Amino acid sequence: MVFVGGPRQVGKTTLGKFLLTSSSGYLNWDVPEHREIILSRELPNTSPLLFDEIHKYRSWRNYLKGLQDLGQMELLALRLPRLVGSPLSINALR
């Protein structure tokens, strides 16, 4: 699991999308259709999965930990304010 944080407009989403093998792996919490996919856990069968703006979901920590515990996919999470360094912060958890 990789967390990428930083201020607005520094390239977090661009970097994350560059690392995807399939555009279906991009899920943005701000897009209602993507939010429904996230909440229903009917995730695309691709890896890695990129969760953009996931920090807006109240239970995002438990949600991502649950997915990581399944060990079936690689995860990227973007725009996590409390992890922000300057100007771009990347933190990896195994």
- pLDDT at position 57 is 94
Hey, CA dihedral for 73, 78, 84, 87, is it positive or negative? positive
State yes or no: pLDDT of 52 exceeds 90.
yes
Measured CA to CA, the distance from residue 25 to residue 21 in angstroms comes to 8
67-80 mean pLDDT: 76
Domain count, the chain: 1
Which residue type does 8 have?
A: R
Structural domain that includes position 42: 2-92
The answer for residues whose C-beta is within 8 angstroms of residue 29's C-beta and 6 or more apart is: 35, 38, 51, 52, 53, 54, 56, 57
- pLDDT at position 7 is 80
pTM, to two decimals: 0.81
- pLDDT at position 39 is 96
9-23 mean pLDDT: 88
Higher pLDDT, 94 or 8: 8
